[in-house]
C-alpha cells in the first residue's frame, strides 16, 4: 500500500503510518510538475544573476556576501556540510522518517526550488528505509530545524551515516546496495532541504497520535479500576456532561460508559460519591481531548505548509523572504500537549493509591496476601510517582525560551524541537503510569473475585494481561511486569486507533 503525496492533503495519521513503515509513498504528477516549474525558475534567477538570498548570497548574517553563479552548487554543498553540526544521542528512526516525509511533502508545494530528481530520490530513500543517523541536539526551531535536517540532506548527497537493513553503515554503502545514485545539489537545493520545521512537526504528529492512544489506554485502565473497587458510575451520566457542554468531556464519559457496559461488578460501593480521581475522569481526560483537537488543526496546517525561505512564486516572478520556518505555532502546541496529558497521569497514580490502600479498597494491603512477608505492588506506585515527578519538570514550557544567533540576524527562536523532545519523553513515561494502574487493577480484580463479572470490553483486556502476566502470589521483580503490561496497552491502543 502507498500514499500519494501532493503537498496539500497529508494527514497527521498518515505521517505516523509512513513513519512506522506501514505505507510507502509516491508523488502525484501534478505536484511533480510544480516542483519542475519552481526548479526551472531557480535556473532563470541564476542566469539573470539576480540577488536572491541563499542562491546568490551567503546565509544568516552572511546574507550580504555575494556568491557567483559558478559557485552556486558549492554554496549548497557547503551549507549542508557546515550545518550538519548536531551532537548527542541519535533520534528515533520513527521521528526521522516522519521528518523526511514532511520535508518531501513541503517540497511538492513548488515554492522551494528543489529538482524533480532530488524529490524523487528523497521518496526512494524513504521507501527503501534508508534512515539518516540524526543527533538529538542542534535545532532552535528558529530558522527551521537546520542541524537535524542537514543530516537528512547529507544522506541524499551520499554522505554521513545511516541505518539500513538493520545495520549502521555509510550512506554511500547503503546507496550502492540499493543501486541509488546520490544527488549533486543544485542552486538553492541545500536550503530547500534544511530550512523548515519538519523535525519539530514530526514530533508533533507522533505526539498527537500517541496522546490519543494514551487516553484510550488510561480509560481502559480506569475502567478496570472502577470495577475492581466496585465504584459508583452515576458520575458518567450523560446529563452531567451535556450540562457543561465541553465536547471532550462528553466523549470521555461516553468512552467510559461503553467500556463499562454490561459490567456486573460496578456500583458495589456504599459511598455517596467517589473520590475525584474516579469521579473527575471525564473532566480531566476531556480537557486533554480538547487540547489534542486544537493541536490537530494547527499541526495539520503545518504538515501541508511551505516553511522554506525564501519562497518562490514562479507565476508571479517573485522571490519573497519571510519567516515561515519559525516554529512558534508548533512549539506552543507541543507544550500544550505535554501540559494537557500530565494530569491524566496524576489522576491515574491517585487511583493506584486507592487500589493499594486497604482503607479505600477493602483488599489486602498492596494487593498481596501475607503482607509484611510480601510487599506486593507497593513500589509500583513509587515508580509511577517518580515518573510523574519527572514529567512535571518536563512540563515547563520550552516555547517561552529563546536565543539569538548568527551575529544577531536570527535574534528569536521558538525552541520548538526542544518542546518536541520533551513531549515524546513525557508520553513514553506516561505509558508506564498507565501500565502500573492496569497491572494493579488486574490484581485487585483477582483478589476481589470479580473477573467473571467484568464488562465485555474490559474482560478482553484483563485476559490479555493475564495471558502474559499471571496473578502475583509471591514477591518477584515487578519492573518486568510493568514493561509487559505497557506493551499490551500499546498494542491494544494502536490496533483500536486504526
Furthest-apart CA atoms within the chain: distance in Å: 86
The DSSP letter of residue 321 is -
319: helix, coil or strand? strand
Give the up-direction half-sphere exposure of residue 414: CA atoms within 13 A in the CB hemisphere: 27
Neighbour-count burial for 232-244, b at 16+ CB within 10 Å, e otherwise? bbebbeeebbeee
Q: How far apart are CA 219 and CA 441, in angstroms?
A: 12
The DSSP letter of residue 113 is -
Given the residues 41, 53, 377, 462, select the one marked as catalytic.
53
Question: Minimal CA–CA distance to 156: which of 202, 206, 104?
Answer: 104
Bridge partners of 167, per DSSP, are: 164
Give the up-direction half-sphere exposure of residue 65: CA atoms within 13 A in the CB hemisphere: 7
Question: Minimal CA–CA distance to 330: which of 200, 228, 161?
Answer: 200
162: helix, coil or strand? strand
For 98, residues 6+ apart whose C-beta sits below 8 A from its C-beta are 15, 16, 18, 19, 202, 205, 206
Give the up-direction half-sphere exposure of residue 75: CA atoms within 13 A in the CB hemisphere: 25
Phi, psi of 369 (to 5 degrees): -75, 160
The four Cα atoms 352, 431, 291, 14 give a dihedral, to 10 degrees, of -150
For 490, residues 6+ apart whose C-beta sits below 8 A from its C-beta are 213, 217, 431
275: helix, coil or strand? coil
Contact 218, 259 (CB under 8 A): no
Does residue 41 carry a catalytic annotation? no
Active site residues: 53
Amino acid at each position: 500500500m502507498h500514499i500519494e503525496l501532493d503537498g496539500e492533503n497529508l494527514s497527521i495519521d498518515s505521517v505516523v503510518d509512513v513513519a512506522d513503515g506501514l505505507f510507502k509513498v509516491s508523488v502525484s504528477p501534478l505536484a511533480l510538475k510544480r516542483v519542475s516549474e519552481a526548479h526551472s525558475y531557480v535556473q532563470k534567477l541564476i542566469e539573470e544573476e539576480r540577488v536572491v538570498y541563499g542562491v546568490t548570497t551567503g546565509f544568516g548574517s552572511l546574507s550580504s556576501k555575494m556568491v557567483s553563479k559558478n559557485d552556486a552548487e558549492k554554496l549548497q554543498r557547503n551549507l549542508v556540510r557546515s550545518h550538519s553540526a548536531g551532537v548527542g544521542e541519535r533520534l528515533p528512526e520513527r521521528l526521522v522518517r516522519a521528518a523526511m516525509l514532511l520535508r518531501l511533502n513541503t517540497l511538492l508545494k513548488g515554492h522551494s526550488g528543489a529538482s524533480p530528481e532530488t524529490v524523487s530520490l528523497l521518496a526512494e530513500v524513504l521507501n527503501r528505509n534508508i534512515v539518516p543517523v540524526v543527533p538529538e541536539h542542534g535545532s532552535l526551531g528558529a530558522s527551521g530545524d537546520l542541524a537535524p535536517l542537514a543530516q537528512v540532506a547529507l544522506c541524499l548527497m551520499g554522505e554521513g551515516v545511516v541505518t539500513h537493513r538493520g545495520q549502521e553503515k555509510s550512506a554511500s554503502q547503503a546507496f550502492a546496495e540499493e543501486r541509488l545514485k546520490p544527488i549533486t545539489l543544485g542552486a538553492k537545493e541545500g536550503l530547500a532541504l534544511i530550512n523548515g520545521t519538519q523535525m519539530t512537526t514530526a514530533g508533533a504528529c507522533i505526539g498527537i497520535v500517541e496522546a490519543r492512544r494514551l487516553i484510550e489506554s488510561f480509560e481502559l485502565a480506569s475502567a478496570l479500576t472502577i470495577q475492581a473497587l466496585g465504584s459508583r458510575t452515576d458520575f458518567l451520566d450523560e446529563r452531567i456532561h451535556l450540562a457543561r457542554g465541553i465536547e471532550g468531556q462528553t466523549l470521555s464519559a461516553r468512552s467510559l460508559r461503553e467500556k463499562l457496559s454490561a459490567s456486573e461488578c460496578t456500583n458495589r460501593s456504599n459511598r455517596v460519591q467517589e473520590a475525584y480521581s474516579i469521579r473527575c475522569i471525564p473532566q480531566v481526560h476531556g480537557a486533554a481531548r480538547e487540547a489534542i483537537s486544537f493541536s490537530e488543526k494547527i499541526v495539520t496546517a503545518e504538515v501541508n505548509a511551505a516553511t522554506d525561505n525564501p519562497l518562490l512564486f514562479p507565476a508571479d516572478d517573485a522571490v519573497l523572504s519571510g519567516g515561515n520556518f519559525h516554529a512558534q505555532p508548533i512549539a506552543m502546541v507541543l507544550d500544550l500537549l505535554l501540559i494537557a496529558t500530565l494530569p491524566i497521569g496524576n489522576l491515574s497514580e491517585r487511583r493506584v493509591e486507592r487500589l493499594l490502600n486497604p482503607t479505600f479498597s477493602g483488599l489486602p494491603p498492596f494487593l498481596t496476601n501475607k503482607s509484611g512477608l510480601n510487599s506486593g505492588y507497593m513500589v509500583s506506585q513509587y515508580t509511577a510517582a517518580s515518573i510523574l515527578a519527572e514529567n512535571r519538570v518536563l512540563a515547563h514550557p520550552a516555547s517561552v525560551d529563546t536565543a539569538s544567533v548568527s551575529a544577531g540576524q536570527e535574534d528569536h527562536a521558538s525552541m520548538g524541537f526542544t518542546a518536541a523532545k520533551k513531549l515524546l519523553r513525557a508520553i513514553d513515561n506516561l505509558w508506564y503510569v498507565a501500565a502500573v494502574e492496569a497491572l494493579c487493577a488486574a490484581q485487585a480484580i483477582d483478589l476481589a473475585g470479580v473477573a467473571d463479572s467484568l464488562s465485555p470490553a474490559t474482560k478482553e483486556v484483563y485476559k490479555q494481561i493475564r495471558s502474559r502476566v499471571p496473578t502475583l502470589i509471591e514477591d518477584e521483580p515487578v519492573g518486568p511486569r510493568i514493561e509487559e503490561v505497557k506493551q499490551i496497552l500499546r498494542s491494544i491502543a494502536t490496533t483500536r486507533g486504526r
